[in-house]
Structure 1
């Protein structure tokens, strides 16, 4: 046993890169809300990109090490402490038996990622250990449950990793102004030009109604001329607009089909940036050509995957 969960905090979930190939059966792919932080954690440990990690949302999680283990911490600054010492995210650390790793309240960002050398040893379901509570899939107990006090986590190896960190240019500032590129979808023609201009020139506020399924935003209304559509498949990052005109950005645990018009879609990296924002934060949007999103992703993949 590598870790014992003393306090699971608000929401701590085991996640790998996701469960793919089952959306036609109504099973969403889950996975990390912030791919940038997740993949960098595995990168600095020399792990497989898919190695399982813990996604810690809002903090308050306390873990106790029961064997020597190399870890990486990325994503939100949840005021983490190793025993009594404050530690920074975007770095690796060496833990020894008896060490306690504690996450407190967010200082910057919302979701932290804790990776271990070669990943947590968790039995997959449908090719993934990613926890999707709504579908009762994945996680330590294989029924979609979040981590709970008393849970024991195994690791795949005792490989020691020298201290390293993510390069400074790759560390995001979660407190800076956020403007996200939107790739217009085929239903954007149902939004008049004045409505689209309002959407792209307004600021929206992250509402209290956010979770791993979706981020509901509050701001100027952007209504479609469509009163409804036949339910269809939904992409990660799709921006649905229900009848009240308040956009909903669909996230990793979204339903696989939906019947609201969509003005466009964020890239996966863009949706990950939004996933680090909390209620009350502001976000704006701008039109993005799909080629721009592809270039951004290729550069990221080259750094993380070497391809």
Structure 2
């Protein structure tokens, strides 16, 4: 049965809104797990709606996004910091918002991050013409839930600013230790497949002389043109050295680093 659309979105073309969900068990067929780039932010949005944290969410890039409610629904906005207006009035991120038909939600450009998320009670799916449908009929919440962004309440164990924590990768060796400190910068050359870094030249003798092998989310692949942090839609096989792999939390942090942010790595 086709479910009615609950939201209609409008955004600049380069915002690239898309519904994303994690898919597992298909890497052997050459399909990466995918899913939200900043998994912790997306999962927090779903958790605040008291539902499976792996349900699909709407993800978009740094620019503004406008939503119009078509059917009664409850949503949570998360991800990069930005202004949230409901019917022109300020509203909170990471807070359950109850919407009625005709209500508008304006999400301003990101300020201090990259990707944003919209989760809907019951999950969402695309139904064409920039409309989003609820995946399942589920009773609305009878109270509002709120929580600060995950990187706020996780500050006690967060790494120092500009430092990403990692574990040794398949090609780790002492020859790679000098490269941990970089310094690197986040380049504008980034997408769902990876984040390219600039600042350090990798000798081809170190990066290329290996047998191709499987990749994982957060692996730092050392190419002759600079390191690439492999992301959710990465290739499943790589032919460059992977001396270290970001821990999952810090891959989420890397996702939200704006272009030109300086960074280094530290081995745990």
TM range (shorter): 0.7 to 0.9
Question: How many pairs are equivalent?
Answer: 256
Residue 79 (structure 1) aligned with residue 80 (structure 2) = no
Could you give the per-residue CA deviations for residues 206-230 of structure 1, whole angstroms, max 9, x where no partner exists? 0010111000011233445353322
Instruction: Select the structure that is richer in strand.
Output: 2
Matches within 5 A, 1:41-120: 41-120=45-124
Aligned to 1:297: none
For structure 2, the residue ranges without an aligned partner over 5 or more in a row are none
Q: By how many angstroms is 1:159 displaced?
A: 2.9
Distance across 2 between alignment mates of 1:164 and 1:53: 18
Select which of 138, 161, 173 maps to 1:177.
161
Q: By how many angstroms is 1:101 displaced?
A: 1.5
For structure 1, the residue ranges without an aligned partner over 5 or more in a row are 123-139, 142-147, 289-307
Could you give the per-residue CA deviations for residues 96-117 of structure 1, whole angstroms, max 9, x where no partner exists? 1111112221112111111111
Distance across 2 between alignment mates of 1:80 and 1:212: 25
Is the Cα contact below 8 Å between 1:180 and 1:283 reproduced in 2? yes
Distance across 1 between alignment mates of 2:99 and 2:27: 39
Q: Aligned pair in 2 of structure 1 residues 211, 180: CA closer, same or farther (>3 Å)?
A: same
Aligned to 1:278: 258
Q: Aligned pair in 2 of structure 1 residues 248, 170: CA closer, same or farther (>3 Å)?
A: closer
Select which of 151, 165, 173 maps to 2:130.
151
Select which of 3, 10, 24 maps to 1:20.
24
Residue 215 (structure 1) aligned with residue 219 (structure 2) = no
Aligned to 2:248: 268
Could you give the per-residue CA deviations for residues 239-267 of structure 1, whole angstroms, max 9, x where no partner exists? 000123x2110000101111011111012
Secondary structure at the counterpart of residue 206 of structure 2: coil
Distance across 2 between alignment mates of 1:169 and 1:210: 23
Q: Aligned pair in 2 of structure 1 residues 158, 59: CA closer, same or farther (>3 Å)?
A: farther
Q: Aligned pair in 2 of structure 1 residues 115, 20: CA closer, same or farther (>3 Å)?
A: same
Distance across 2 between alignment mates of 1:214 and 1:233: 15
Q: TM-score, normalised by structure 2?
A: 0.87
Distance across 2 between alignment mates of 1:263 and 1:13: 32
Could you give the per-residue CA deviations for residues 162-214 of structure 1, whole angstroms, max 9, x where no partner exists? 2221157753789x82311111113112x61xx513x2333311001011100
Could you give the per-residue CA deviations for residues 38-71 of structure 1, whole angstroms, max 9, x where no partner exists? 1111111101122111112113221110122111
Two-structure CA RMSD over aligned residues (Å): 2.3
Is the Cα contact below 8 Å between 2:207 and 2:222 reproduced in 1? no
Aligned to 1:302: none
Q: TM-score, normalised by structure 1?
A: 0.77
